[in-house]
Amino acid sequence: MQTIPLEFYLILSAVLFTIGTIGVLTRRNAIVVFMSIELMLNSVNLTFVAFSAFMGDIAGQIFVFFIMAIAAGEATIGLAIVLALFRLKQSVYVDEANQLKW
Amino acid sequence: MSLLYFFFAILAILAISSAVVTITSRNPVRSAFALVFHFFTLAGLYLTLNAQFVAVIQVLVYAGAIMVLVVFVIMLLNLSNEERLSERFDVRKAVAIFFGIAFVIQIVLSVLIPGTFQSNLHPDSLRIGTAQEIGKVLFSNYIVPVEIVGILLIVAIIGAIVLAKRKLD
């Protein structure tokens, strides 16, 4: 069965991961940083599914489920932290959360 | 075959552009909706890999559950117009973009060595993408991780309730 080569998926995944990394490093809004982390997790999922389909091994797709479960847990905890931060500082900018800095 | 390439190219362009909109847009609501669109394009890419069940779960869990949570928090905080005056170009941004491009070039060079990967989908790929196969493996070989993930989700729910409560008593 002739298909798109695996390299295309890997390159696309690398580009998406890098966009997510740039988002984490450059944005100040904690919610956008959080969404960039979701972008990075999703690009890794794409790599897992691509290798799983090209190797004929189901373990990659199983791992995608675990990553999704971790992402759901991270979403709930992260957004709760953002809410608590907003209550404390009236802002969600990550560079204003400096209580631990002495 | 060329139709498949066309489909892949459209999905890849849409995925990259929606990701760029997600990280560059000043309005958090707009980046949330771009991210929902990005999740749909990724589901389409999973379909080109014969991973039907993962594609459905992607739409249900990410676009359905996680993004609803994000949009709720954005609406709850009501912070659309504060962002505009404080976002600026600085050296941090330049360093991030430089290292990002260097990373992509590194990966592309290492991936493009000819003969590293096989260029055809495995013949089993149609079979292992179905819900039946994934369920069989998930509840036999991977039953302990599944239980641990259940515990993790319970801990996350309790932690979110504790963190979001107004006052601990």
Average pLDDT score over chain B: 84
pLDDT level of residue A39 (50, 70, 90 thresholds): very high
Query: Are B160 and A80 within 8 A, CB to CB?
Result: yes
Q: What are phi and psi of A93, to 5 degrees?
A: -80, 130
The answer to whether B38 touches B18, Cβ cutoff 8 Å, is yes
- State yes or no: pLDDT of B85 exceeds 50: no
Cα–Cα distance between B128 and B124 in angstroms, integer? 6
Q: Mean pLDDT across the stretch A71-100? A: 85
- State yes or no: pLDDT of A9 exceeds 70: yes
A77 CB near a chain B CB, below 8 Å?
yes
Q: Which of B54, B74, B87 sits opposite A28 (nearest CB)?
A: B87
Q: Give me the residues paired with residue B120 across strands.
A: A2
The answer to whether A16 touches A35, Cβ cutoff 8 Å, is no
Chain B residues touching A91 at Cβ < 8 A: 79, 82
Query: Are B51 and A53 within 8 A, CB to CB?
Result: yes
Query: Are B50 and A29 within 8 A, CB to CB?
Result: no
Which phi-psi region, left, alpha or beta, contains residue B99 (left: φ > 0; alpha: ψ -120 to 50)?
Answer: alpha
Q: ipTM score of the complex?
A: 0.91
Tokens 């609803």 appear where? B68
Query: Are B22 and A23 within 8 A, CB to CB?
Result: yes
Query: Are A77 and B57 within 8 A, CB to CB?
Result: no
Q: What confidence tens digit (pLDDT) does each residue in B119-157 have?
A: 677 777 777 888 898 899 999 999 999 999 999 999 999
pLDDT level of residue A5 (50, 70, 90 thresholds): confident
Chain A residues touching B111 at Cβ < 8 A: 7, 10-11, 14
Radius of gyration from C-alpha coordinates of chain A: 17
- State yes or no: pLDDT of B80 exceeds 60: no
For chain A, positions 29-58, list CB contacts with chain B under 8 A.
29, 31-32, 34-36, 38-39, 42, 45-46, 49-50, 52-58
The answer to whether A32 touches A92, Cβ cutoff 8 Å, is no
Shortest Cα distance from B33 to chain A (angstroms)? 11
Chain B residues touching A75 at Cβ < 8 A: 66, 69-70
Q: What confidence tens digit (pLDDT) does each residue in B107-119 have?
A: 888 877 776 676 6
pTM, rounded to two decimals: 0.88
- State yes or no: pLDDT of B50 exceeds 70: yes
Query: Are A72 and B16 within 8 A, CB to CB?
Result: no
The answer to whether B74 touches B151, Cβ cutoff 8 Å, is no
Q: What are phi and psi of B13, to 5 degrees?
A: -65, -45
Q: Which of A32, A72, A80 sits opposite B164 (nearest CB)?
A: A80
Q: At what angle do helices B67-77 and A30-55 cross, to 10 degrees?
A: 170
Q: Whats the size of chain B, residue-wise?
A: 169
End-to-end C-alpha distance for chain A, whole angstroms:
61
Residue A96 contacts by C-beta under 8 Å, 6 or more apart in sequence? A89
Q: What is the DSSP string of chain B?
A: -HHHHHHHHHHHHHHHHHHHHHHH-SSHHHHHHHHHHHHHHHHHHHHHTT-HHHHHHIIIIIIIIIHHHHHHHHHHHT-TTTGGGT----HHHHHHHHHHHHHHHHHHHHHTSTTSS-SB--TTHHHHTSHHHHHHHHTTTTHHHHHHHHHHHHHHHHHHHHHHSSS--
Tokens at A4, concatenated: 């798109």
Query: Are B23 and A26 within 8 A, CB to CB?
Result: yes
